[in-house]
Structure 1
């Protein structure tokens, strides 16, 4: 079985690793007639194309920047940041194989049989967040009036921004994607016209206190999907360094994928291989990895300059309120 782990000790760049891994995986899939691995190859090619032909990211980020400029004009008293990232290789690989494990497990648990290959392949076409942007807002206390509640004011502004974002980007070549009713918002602050496009993790709270608004767009120029996340600073802190941080998220994912004893080994090759790839990634000691532009002291302390683990930042913008230095009364 071909796994990503086998390619992480060569000192090569992420792009070279992707290219070699994809070539070997495709060759193996053709020999074994593994249709899921062929879908896997196409997924890896998407990531490769982002790294190899990234001129469109400049054009795309400039369009996103127009919304940044709009917010700076419309909300001069807000502090906010815009960030963009390409999903890292290790996280993308883990998520792809995790989908396979979870879908087959859930299907088997319900039906005591395995899903049709066509159903599984359809499930694997749902990736929409290889490119993601995040808008994080904060209301400086000095701009609160008449004992206004900071959290309420930030939430009100967050939904105001969410209401105008879809039309703003659609006028610039993006198409908002319907969620099909998944996590539909119940907030009265979100307009009915845009509710079909948002997954609302604020009114539909998760157990780990994760809160955010998510919306997916199709960039008609770049021909790719883009996810946008909208949060307050408090929500972002919980997601990044609080109870919903990615380390805790990964641990929960590991627990949810530890289902080897439920699916008899050898009965479903797609489950077996995806489970093994997930297991090997979970046991990866990053300090031993040799990938160009990546250095790790441990699994927690690392300098990821290549998009291997944490992802590559592609759009750092920050607006700290026009009034922050008392330049304007």
Structure 2
């Protein structure tokens, strides 16, 4: 079985590693008539296209920047940041394999049999966040004496921005993708017309206190999907350094990947291969990798100059409120 790990010690660039892994995986998939590995190759092809032909990101980021400029005009007293990233190769590979393990395990647990290949393939075709942008807003405390009023104003601004964003970007060549009922908003602050496009983790927040608004767009010029997340700073703190932070997410993902006891080894090759690939990635010792433009002292001290592990930053913008900017008239 071919795994990404086998290519991470060659000293090659991330692009060459990805190309070699994809080429060899495709050959093996054709030889073994493995339909899931063919889907896997198509998934890797999307990542390769982002790395090899990413000129469109400049144009795409410029359109996102137009919304940044709009917000600076319309919300002068609001502080906010815009960030953008391409998902890292390791994170993307982990996620692809975890979807396979999760779907097969859950289906088997419920039905005592394995899911049809067509159903599994459909699930694996739903990746929409290889490119993602995040808008984080904050209403500075100097604008409100009462904290409850400040928080209410902040939430109101967040939903107001969410209501405007789809129409703004659709005028600039993007198409909002329906969320198909996933985490549909129950907030009275969200307009009925755009409600079907958002996954609202604020009015439907889960057990780890994660809160955010998510929407997916199709970029008609580059023919790629991108996700936009909208949060307040308090929500972003929970996601970055609080109960919903990525280390906690990784630990939960590791627990998901380690679910092995229900499905006997050798009974479902798709589960076995995805499980093995996922566990090997989770157990990587990053300091031993030999990838051009990447180095690590350990799994915490990482200098990821190629987007292998932490992703690639494509849009950093920050706007301070008028009070913070000392631009009070």
Q: Give the direction of change, closer, same or farther, for the CA distance of 1:27–1:146 in structure 2 (3 Å limit).
A: closer
Cα distance, 1:327 vs structure 2: 2.5
Q: For residues 320 and 287 of structure 1, what CA distance do their matches in structure 2 show?
A: 38
Please give the TM-score of this superposition, normalised by the length of structure 1: 0.98
Q: Give the direction of change, closer, same or farther, for the CA distance of 1:33–1:328 in structure 2 (3 Å limit).
A: same
CA deviation map 1:154-203 (0-9, x unaligned)? 11110000010000001111111111111011111111111101101111
Question: Which position in structure 2 is the counterpart of 1:206?
Answer: 206
Cα distance, 1:326 vs structure 2: 2.1
Matches within 5 A, 1:231-250: 231-250=231-250
Are the counterparts in 2 of residues 83 and 135 from structure 1 also a CA contact under 8 Å? yes
CA deviation map 1:72-109 (0-9, x unaligned)? 00001111000000000000000000000000111111
Q: For residues 240 and 4 of structure 1, what CA distance do their matches in structure 2 show?
A: 27
Q: For residues 95 and 325 of structure 1, what CA distance do their matches in structure 2 show?
A: 40
Question: Which position in structure 2 is the counterpart of 1:156?
Answer: 156
Q: How big is the alpha-carbon RMSD for the aligned residues of Structure 1 and Structure 2?
A: 1.1
Cα distance, 1:12 vs structure 2: 1.1
Q: For residues 8 and 53 of structure 2, what CA distance do their matches in structure 1 show?
A: 23
Does the residue aligned with 2:271 lie in a helix, a strand or coil? helix
Q: For residues 322 and 149 of structure 2, what CA distance do their matches in structure 1 show?
A: 21
Are the counterparts in 2 of residues 287 and 298 from structure 1 also a CA contact under 8 Å? yes
Matches within 5 A, 1:1-329: 1-144=1-144, 149-329=149-329
Segments of structure 2 that go 5 or more residues without pairing to the other structure are none
CA deviation map 1:218-269 (0-9, x unaligned)? 1111101110000001111111111111110010011122221111111110
Cα distance, 1:148 vs structure 2: 5.8
Cα distance, 1:145 vs structure 2: 5.8
Segments of structure 1 that go 5 or more residues without pairing to the other structure are none
Q: For residues 187 and 289 of structure 2, what CA distance do their matches in structure 1 show?
A: 45
Q: Give the direction of change, closer, same or farther, for the CA distance of 1:231–1:266 in structure 2 (3 Å limit).
A: same
Q: For residues 237 and 286 of structure 1, what CA distance do their matches in structure 2 show?
A: 26
Q: Give the direction of change, closer, same or farther, for the CA distance of 1:148–1:234 in structure 2 (3 Å limit).
A: closer
Please give the TM-score of this superposition, normalised by the length of structure 2: 0.98
Aligned length: 329
